Protein backbone atom coordinates (compact mmCIF):
# COMPACT_ATOMS: atom_id res chain seq x y z
CA UNK A 1 0.00 0.00 0.00
CA UNK A 2 1.49 3.40 -0.90
CA UNK A 3 1.34 6.30 1.54
CA UNK A 4 -2.09 7.65 0.68
CA UNK A 5 -3.80 4.44 -0.25
CA UNK A 6 -6.78 3.86 1.96
CA UNK A 7 -7.47 0.55 3.67
CA UNK A 8 -10.51 -1.20 2.14
CA UNK A 9 -12.24 -0.80 5.51
CA UNK A 10 -11.97 2.99 5.24
CA UNK A 11 -13.64 2.90 1.82
CA UNK A 12 -16.31 0.51 3.11
CA UNK A 13 -17.02 2.58 6.21
CA UNK A 14 -17.15 5.74 4.10
CA UNK A 15 -19.70 4.14 1.79
CA UNK A 16 -21.71 2.74 4.71
CA UNK A 17 -21.92 6.14 6.45
CA UNK A 18 -22.88 7.89 3.19
CA UNK A 19 -25.60 5.31 2.45
CA UNK A 20 -26.76 5.40 6.10
CA UNK A 21 -26.10 1.74 6.70
CA UNK A 22 -24.03 3.18 9.54
CA UNK A 23 -26.14 6.02 10.93
CA UNK A 24 -26.92 7.95 14.08
CA UNK A 25 -24.32 10.30 15.50
CA UNK A 26 -22.72 8.00 18.09
CA UNK A 27 -22.59 5.00 15.76
CA UNK A 28 -21.06 7.12 13.00
CA UNK A 29 -18.37 8.32 15.44
CA UNK A 30 -17.51 4.78 16.52
CA UNK A 31 -17.49 3.51 12.91
CA UNK A 32 -15.19 6.31 11.75
CA UNK A 33 -12.79 5.81 14.67
CA UNK A 34 -12.61 2.08 14.03
CA UNK A 35 -11.90 2.70 10.35
CA UNK A 36 -8.94 4.87 11.41
CA UNK A 37 -7.66 1.99 13.53
CA UNK A 38 -7.80 -0.31 10.50
CA UNK A 39 -6.02 2.28 8.41
CA UNK A 40 -3.29 2.45 11.07
CA UNK A 41 -2.95 -1.34 11.17
CA UNK A 42 -2.89 -1.76 7.40
CA UNK A 43 -0.85 1.25 6.29
CA UNK A 44 2.55 0.01 5.10
CA UNK A 45 4.07 3.49 5.17
CA UNK A 46 7.86 3.50 5.08
CA UNK A 47 8.30 6.68 7.13
CA UNK A 48 6.52 8.42 10.01
CA UNK A 49 5.63 11.28 7.63
CA UNK A 50 4.08 8.87 5.16
CA UNK A 51 2.12 7.20 7.95
CA UNK A 52 0.79 10.52 9.22
CA UNK A 53 -0.16 11.55 5.67
CA UNK A 54 -2.08 8.30 5.14
CA UNK A 55 -3.96 8.79 8.43
CA UNK A 56 -4.89 12.34 7.44
CA UNK A 57 -6.08 11.12 4.03
CA UNK A 58 -8.27 8.47 5.67
CA UNK A 59 -9.74 11.05 8.06
CA UNK A 60 -10.48 13.44 5.17
CA UNK A 61 -12.28 10.69 3.29
CA UNK A 62 -14.42 9.80 6.32
CA UNK A 63 -15.10 13.48 7.07
CA UNK A 64 -16.67 14.01 3.63
CA UNK A 65 -19.52 11.54 4.17
CA UNK A 66 -22.20 13.46 6.10
CA UNK A 67 -22.00 17.06 7.27
CA UNK A 68 -24.30 17.48 10.27
CA UNK A 69 -23.30 15.09 13.08
CA UNK A 70 -20.30 16.74 14.76
CA UNK A 71 -19.49 13.46 16.50
CA UNK A 72 -17.77 12.48 13.22
CA UNK A 73 -15.15 15.27 13.11
CA UNK A 74 -14.89 15.15 16.91
CA UNK A 75 -14.01 11.45 16.68
CA UNK A 76 -11.42 12.06 13.96
CA UNK A 77 -9.95 14.94 16.01
CA UNK A 78 -9.79 12.80 19.14
CA UNK A 79 -7.78 10.11 17.38
CA UNK A 80 -5.48 12.27 15.24
CA UNK A 81 -4.58 14.51 18.19
CA UNK A 82 -3.29 11.47 20.03
CA UNK A 83 -1.20 10.22 17.10
CA UNK A 84 2.39 10.45 18.31
CA UNK A 85 5.72 8.70 18.07
CA UNK A 86 8.95 8.82 16.14
CA UNK A 87 8.57 5.50 14.35
CA UNK A 88 5.79 4.06 12.22
CA UNK A 89 5.27 1.37 14.83
CA UNK A 90 4.91 3.89 17.66
CA UNK A 91 2.52 5.98 15.59
CA UNK A 92 0.48 2.92 14.69
CA UNK A 93 0.18 1.95 18.33
CA UNK A 94 -0.80 5.44 19.43
CA UNK A 95 -3.66 5.45 16.91
CA UNK A 96 -5.00 2.01 17.78
CA UNK A 97 -4.77 2.85 21.50
CA UNK A 98 -6.59 6.15 20.96
CA UNK A 99 -9.36 4.41 19.04
CA UNK A 100 -9.83 1.77 21.75
CA UNK A 101 -9.93 4.52 24.37
CA UNK A 102 -12.38 6.57 22.30
CA UNK A 103 -14.80 3.70 21.75
CA UNK A 104 -14.67 2.68 25.42
CA UNK A 105 -15.35 6.30 26.37
CA UNK A 106 -18.35 6.45 24.01
CA UNK A 107 -19.86 3.37 25.62
CA UNK A 108 -19.20 4.63 29.13
CA UNK A 109 -20.63 8.07 28.33
CA UNK A 110 -23.80 6.52 26.97
CA UNK A 111 -24.20 4.36 30.04
CA UNK A 112 -23.62 7.32 32.37
CA UNK A 113 -26.03 9.64 30.57
CA UNK A 114 -28.56 6.82 30.53
CA UNK A 115 -28.58 6.92 34.34
CA UNK A 116 -29.00 10.70 34.36
CA UNK A 117 -31.85 10.56 31.85
CA UNK A 118 -33.52 7.64 33.62
CA UNK A 119 -33.73 9.72 36.78
CA UNK A 120 -35.99 12.15 34.94
CA UNK A 121 -38.44 9.35 34.14
CA UNK A 122 -40.92 8.10 36.75
CA UNK A 123 -42.53 4.70 37.11
CA UNK A 124 -45.58 4.57 34.82
CA UNK A 125 -44.41 7.35 32.46
CA UNK A 126 -45.06 7.40 28.73
CA UNK A 127 -42.27 8.78 26.56
CA UNK A 128 -42.63 10.07 23.01
CA UNK A 129 -39.58 9.55 20.76
CA UNK A 130 -38.46 10.89 17.40
CA UNK A 131 -36.05 9.15 15.01
CA UNK A 132 -33.63 6.57 16.45
CA UNK A 133 -31.10 7.73 19.02
CA UNK A 134 -28.94 5.31 20.97
CA UNK A 135 -28.38 8.01 23.61
CA UNK A 136 -32.14 8.50 24.04
CA UNK A 137 -32.73 4.74 24.16
CA UNK A 138 -30.04 4.40 26.85
CA UNK A 139 -32.18 6.62 29.13
CA UNK A 140 -35.31 4.51 28.65
CA UNK A 141 -33.40 1.25 29.01
CA UNK A 142 -31.76 2.47 32.23
CA UNK A 143 -35.18 3.46 33.60
CA UNK A 144 -36.49 -0.03 32.79
CA UNK A 145 -33.42 -1.54 34.50
CA UNK A 146 -34.29 0.54 37.58
CA UNK A 147 -37.60 -1.34 37.62
CA UNK A 148 -39.75 1.48 36.23
CA UNK A 149 -42.59 0.68 33.88
CA UNK A 150 -42.23 2.89 30.83
CA UNK A 151 -44.40 3.03 27.71
CA UNK A 152 -43.43 4.64 24.43
CA UNK A 153 -45.16 6.52 21.65
CA UNK A 154 -42.80 6.28 18.71
CA UNK A 155 -42.99 8.66 15.76
CA UNK A 156 -42.25 6.86 12.52
CA UNK A 157 -39.93 9.68 11.33
CA UNK A 158 -40.40 10.09 7.63
CA UNK A 159 -38.84 9.87 5.13
CA UNK A 160 -36.58 7.02 6.28
CA UNK A 161 -38.68 5.67 9.13
CA UNK A 162 -35.92 5.35 11.72
CA UNK A 163 -38.79 5.19 14.23
CA UNK A 164 -39.20 1.56 13.19
CA UNK A 165 -35.73 0.80 14.58
CA UNK A 166 -36.64 2.58 17.82
CA UNK A 167 -39.91 0.64 18.04
CA UNK A 168 -38.15 -2.68 17.59
CA UNK A 169 -35.41 -1.94 20.13
CA UNK A 170 -37.86 -0.66 22.74
CA UNK A 171 -40.03 -3.70 22.26
CA UNK A 172 -36.96 -5.89 22.77
CA UNK A 173 -36.31 -3.96 26.00
CA UNK A 174 -39.80 -4.88 27.19
CA UNK A 175 -41.34 -1.43 26.61
CA UNK A 176 -44.90 -1.41 25.20
CA UNK A 177 -44.74 0.66 21.98
CA UNK A 178 -47.36 2.56 20.01
CA UNK A 179 -46.15 3.65 16.57
CA UNK A 180 -47.72 6.81 15.13
CA UNK A 181 -47.26 8.81 11.92
CA UNK A 182 -45.37 12.06 12.40
CA UNK A 183 -48.42 14.22 11.89
CA UNK A 184 -50.20 12.46 14.80
CA UNK A 185 -47.59 13.66 17.28
CA UNK A 186 -49.55 16.63 18.64
CA UNK A 187 -52.61 14.51 19.26
CA UNK A 188 -50.62 11.86 21.14
CA UNK A 189 -48.71 14.40 23.22
CA UNK A 190 -51.84 14.36 25.38
CA UNK A 191 -50.80 10.89 26.46
CA UNK A 192 -47.09 11.59 26.89
CA UNK A 193 -45.26 12.58 30.08
CA UNK A 194 -41.97 13.31 28.32
CA UNK A 195 -40.54 13.82 24.87
CA UNK A 196 -37.07 12.34 24.51
CA UNK A 197 -34.82 12.94 21.49
CA UNK A 198 -31.15 12.63 20.60
CA UNK A 199 -28.83 15.11 18.89
CA UNK A 200 -26.44 15.21 15.97
CA UNK A 201 -24.89 18.45 17.14
CA UNK A 202 -25.43 20.93 19.94
CA UNK A 203 -24.58 24.55 19.29
CA UNK A 204 -22.94 26.90 21.78
CA UNK A 205 -26.23 28.77 22.29
CA UNK A 206 -27.91 25.50 23.32
CA UNK A 207 -29.64 24.95 19.97
CA UNK A 208 -30.20 21.25 19.35
CA UNK A 209 -29.61 19.94 15.84
CA UNK A 210 -31.44 16.66 15.37
CA UNK A 211 -33.59 14.77 12.86
CA UNK A 212 -35.97 16.96 10.87
CA UNK A 213 -39.21 17.36 12.78
CA UNK A 214 -37.61 17.69 16.20
CA UNK A 215 -38.18 21.45 16.35
CA UNK A 216 -41.88 21.18 15.46
CA UNK A 217 -42.28 18.45 18.05
CA UNK A 218 -40.57 20.64 20.65
CA UNK A 219 -42.88 23.59 19.94
CA UNK A 220 -45.93 21.33 20.22
CA UNK A 221 -44.60 19.75 23.41
CA UNK A 222 -44.12 23.18 24.96
CA UNK A 223 -47.65 24.19 23.95
CA UNK A 224 -48.99 21.01 25.57
CA UNK A 225 -46.81 21.42 28.68
CA UNK A 226 -44.93 18.17 28.07
CA UNK A 227 -41.24 18.40 29.08
CA UNK A 228 -38.75 17.66 26.32
CA UNK A 229 -35.17 16.54 26.85
CA UNK A 230 -32.25 15.81 24.56
CA UNK A 231 -29.97 12.90 25.42
CA UNK A 232 -26.55 13.70 24.00
CA UNK A 233 -23.11 12.68 25.08
CA UNK A 234 -20.59 15.49 24.92
CA UNK A 235 -19.11 14.22 21.65
CA UNK A 236 -22.18 15.97 20.15
CA UNK A 237 -21.01 19.43 21.30
CA UNK A 238 -20.05 21.43 18.23
CA UNK A 239 -16.81 23.35 18.94
CA UNK A 240 -16.98 25.53 15.83
CA UNK A 241 -20.20 27.13 17.04
CA UNK A 242 -18.17 28.68 19.89
CA UNK A 243 -16.81 31.08 17.31
CA UNK A 244 -20.10 31.74 15.57
CA UNK A 245 -20.13 29.07 12.86
CA UNK A 246 -23.49 27.58 12.01
CA UNK A 247 -24.07 23.85 11.61
CA UNK A 248 -24.55 22.62 8.06
CA UNK A 249 -27.88 20.88 7.57
CA UNK A 250 -27.61 17.90 5.26
CA UNK A 251 -29.92 17.95 2.24
CA UNK A 252 -30.72 14.44 1.04
CA UNK A 253 -31.99 12.90 -2.19
CA UNK A 254 -35.45 13.80 -3.45
CA UNK A 255 -36.36 10.17 -4.04
CA UNK A 256 -36.43 9.61 -0.26
CA UNK A 257 -39.51 11.85 -0.27
CA UNK A 258 -41.28 10.72 -3.42
CA UNK A 259 -40.71 7.80 -5.77
CA UNK A 260 -39.53 8.91 -9.24
CA UNK A 261 -42.66 7.37 -10.91
CA UNK A 262 -45.06 9.29 -8.66
CA UNK A 263 -43.11 12.44 -9.20
CA UNK A 264 -43.27 12.06 -12.96
CA UNK A 265 -47.04 11.66 -12.72
CA UNK A 266 -47.44 14.87 -10.70
CA UNK A 267 -45.43 16.92 -13.18
CA UNK A 268 -43.11 19.86 -12.58
CA UNK A 269 -42.67 20.32 -8.82
CA UNK A 270 -39.80 21.11 -6.49
CA UNK A 271 -38.92 18.64 -3.72
CA UNK A 272 -36.77 19.49 -0.71
CA UNK A 273 -35.40 16.97 1.76
CA UNK A 274 -33.49 18.47 4.69
CA UNK A 275 -32.39 15.73 7.10
CA UNK A 276 -32.10 17.85 10.26
CA UNK A 277 -33.42 20.97 11.92
CA UNK A 278 -32.49 23.26 14.80
CA UNK A 279 -34.56 23.41 17.97
CA UNK A 280 -33.99 26.77 19.66
CA UNK A 281 -32.85 26.45 23.29
CA UNK A 282 -36.03 28.04 24.65
CA UNK A 283 -38.04 25.00 23.50
CA UNK A 284 -35.77 22.43 25.15
CA UNK A 285 -36.05 21.71 28.88
CA UNK A 286 -32.80 19.85 29.45
CA UNK A 287 -29.75 18.43 27.75
CA UNK A 288 -28.75 15.17 29.40
CA UNK A 289 -25.04 14.30 29.09
CA UNK A 290 -22.61 11.97 30.83
CA UNK A 291 -21.61 14.98 32.96
CA UNK A 292 -25.15 15.53 34.23
CA UNK A 293 -28.11 17.50 32.91
CA UNK A 294 -27.95 21.10 31.77
CA UNK A 295 -30.40 23.82 30.79
CA UNK A 296 -29.56 24.36 27.08
CA UNK A 297 -28.41 27.94 27.69
CA UNK A 298 -25.65 26.77 30.04
CA UNK A 299 -24.18 24.10 27.77
CA UNK A 300 -21.65 26.63 26.49
CA UNK A 301 -19.72 26.35 29.79
CA UNK A 302 -19.28 22.62 29.33
CA UNK A 303 -18.39 23.15 25.68
CA UNK A 304 -15.62 25.62 26.58
CA UNK A 305 -14.30 23.26 29.23
CA UNK A 306 -14.18 20.23 26.92
CA UNK A 307 -13.52 21.82 23.53
CA UNK A 308 -11.92 25.11 24.53
CA UNK A 309 -8.88 24.33 22.40
CA UNK A 310 -11.04 24.98 19.36
CA UNK A 311 -11.91 23.11 16.23
CA UNK A 312 -8.57 22.47 14.54
CA UNK A 313 -8.61 20.22 11.49
CA UNK A 314 -5.71 17.83 12.11
CA UNK A 315 -6.63 15.98 8.91
CA UNK A 316 -5.72 18.97 6.70
CA UNK A 317 -2.53 18.72 4.61
CA UNK A 318 0.19 20.69 6.45
Measured from the CB atom, the residue of 18 and 122 that comes closer to ligand RUB is: 18
**Under the criterion CB under 6 A, does residue 13 sit at the interface with ligand RUB?**
no
Residue 305, phi then psi, degrees to nearest 5 = -60, -45
Task: Measure the CA–CA gap between 313 and 244, rounded to whole angstroms.
Answer: 17
In sequence order, the 6+-apart residues with CB closer than 8 A to the CB of 76 are 32, 33, 36, 59, 62, 63, 314, 315
On whether 155 is known to bind a ligand per the annotation, the reply is no
Q: Which pairs from 292-299 meet CB under 8 Å and 24+ separation?
A: 292/116, 293/116, 293/117, 293/120, 293/229, 295/206, 296/202, 296/205, 296/206, 296/207, 296/208, 296/230, 297/205, 297/206, 298/206, 299/202, 299/204, 299/206, 299/237
Residues between 148 and 177 that touch ligand RUB (CB under 6 A): 162
Residues between 126 and 145 that touch ligand RUB (CB under 6 A): 131, 133-136
Catalytic residue among 9, 112, 125, 200: 200
Residues between 173 and 202 that touch ligand RUB (CB under 6 A): 198-200
Measured from the CB atom, the residue of 74 and 210 that comes closer to ligand RUB is: 210
**Integer Rg of the chain from CA:** 20
**Under the criterion CB under 6 A, does residue 52 sit at the interface with ligand RUB?**
no
**Under the criterion CB under 6 A, does residue 36 sit at the interface with ligand RUB?**
no
Min separation Cβ 48 and ligand RUB, Å: 34
Task: Measure the CA–CA gap between 182 and 184, rounded to whole angstroms.
Answer: 5
Catalytic residue among 131, 139, 277, 285: 131
Measured from the CB atom, the residue of 24 and 239 that comes closer to ligand RUB is: 24
By CB atoms closer than 10 A (0-12, 13-18, 19+), residue 309 is exposed
Min separation Cβ 165 and ligand RUB, Å: 9
Q: What is the 3-state secondary structure (H, E, C) of 10-34?
A: HHHHHHHHHCCCCCCHHHHHHHHHH
Instruction: State which of residues 52, 77, 120, 211 lies at the interface with ligand RUB (CB under 6 A).
Output: 211
On whether 26 is known to bind a ligand per the annotation, the reply is yes
For residue 139, indicate whether it is catalytic.
no
**Under the criterion CB under 6 A, does residue 288 sit at the interface with ligand RUB?**
no
By CB atoms closer than 10 A (0-12, 13-18, 19+), residue 188 is middle
On whether 74 is known to bind a ligand per the annotation, the reply is no
Site string for ligand RUB, 213-252 (x = CB under 6 A): ----------------------------------------
Task: Measure the CA–CA gap between 251 and 245, rounded to whole angstroms.
Answer: 18
Residues binding ligand RUB: what is the number (CB under 6 A)?
A: 18
CA angle 108, 109, 110 (to 5 degrees): 90
Taking phi over 0 as left and psi of -120 to 50 as alpha, with beta for the rest, 201 belongs to beta
Site string for ligand RUB, 256-285 (x = CB under 6 A): -------------------x----------
The residue of the chain with the least Cβ separation from ligand RUB equals 198
On whether 25 is known to bind a ligand per the annotation, the reply is yes
Measured from the CB atom, the residue of 24 and 73 that comes closer to ligand RUB is: 24
Contact 252, 273 (CB under 8 A): yes
On whether 210 is known to bind a ligand per the annotation, the reply is yes
On whether 24 is known to bind a ligand per the annotation, the reply is yes
For residue 200, indicate whether it is catalytic.
yes
Residues that bind ligand RUB (CB under 6 A): 23-27, 69, 131, 133-136, 162, 198-200, 210-211, 275
Binding positions for substrate are: 23-26, 66, 210-211, 236
Binding positions are: 23-26, 66, 210-211, 236
Q: Which residues are catalytic?
A: 131, 200
Amino acid sequence: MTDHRLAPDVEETTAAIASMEIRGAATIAAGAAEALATQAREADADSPEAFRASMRAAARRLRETRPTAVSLPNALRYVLRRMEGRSVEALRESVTDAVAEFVAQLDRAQEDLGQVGANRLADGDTVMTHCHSTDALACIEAAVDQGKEIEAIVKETRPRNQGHITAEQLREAGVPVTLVVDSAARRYLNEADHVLVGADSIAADGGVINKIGTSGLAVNARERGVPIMTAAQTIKLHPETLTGHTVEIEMRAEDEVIAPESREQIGEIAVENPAFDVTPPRYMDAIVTEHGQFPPESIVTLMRELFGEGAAEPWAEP
